[in-house]
Chain A
Amino acid sequence: GQNIDQPTEMTATEGAIVQINCTYQTSGFNGLFWYQQHAGEAPTFLSYNVLDGLEEKGRFSSFLSRSKGYSYLLLKELQMKDSASYLCAGLDSNYQLIWGAGTKLIIKP
């Protein structure tokens, strides 16, 4: 079956760095998305990886290893506004998104 695994909750300190991991099992693979979702709001797009390696976008970076079925989202210089859920989603061979349950990130001062 298809599955996306990510930690339920993580806590980090303002100004620090945090890495949110995601492992995926999909029928075929056409890329990996990360979305941010603040409480009570809609998900917003953060990144898309289809090739191995690290994609950097400001304070946020996303990494993909297709051979390991693994991705991570790296957040640097954490700010209080980064407190949110981070959703990992894999795109399968039918171009359907398989969503994880999300990782709730709590930032402490």
Chain B
Amino acid sequence: EAGVAQSPRYKIIEKRQSVAFWCNPISGHATLYWYQQILGQGPKLLIQFQNNGVVDDSQLPKDRFSAERLKGVDSTLKIQPAKLEDSAVYLCASSTRGTGTGELFFGEGSRLTVL
């Protein structure tokens, strides 16, 4: 079974530029998450989708971050404009359970460096 795919693995941009990350979850997984993980910290949930609807985006900085999950499969996370403090690894995860209680399967992450 193919795992969660993410791209790009690494991205370096200057502040005020924009960046987009892509995620393809495990086939059949209804729930998709985007997490931000800063070095030395635990993952912070940015947004959770159930199929193509948003379940929780309370910690998403909506003035600069946006995410979509068209057709309930792939998802894109965009940052525009980026700030220095956005330097982090952006992890995409998916799970089978509708309420998100099941095991999360993570992708390898997209490491963002903002200069």
Contact = CB atoms under 8 A, between A and B. Distances in A.
Given A30-B101, A31-B101, A42-B91, A97 B45 contact: yes
Contacts of A96: 45, 48, 56, 100
Contacts, number: 47
Interface residues of A, number: 22
B103 A45 contact: yes
Given A95-B100, A96-B100, A43 B44 contact: no
Given A89-B42, A101-B40, A42 B101 contact: no
B101 A102 contact: no
Contacts of A29: none
Interface of A: 4, 30-31, 33, 35, 41-45, 48, 87, 89, 91, 94-97, 99-102
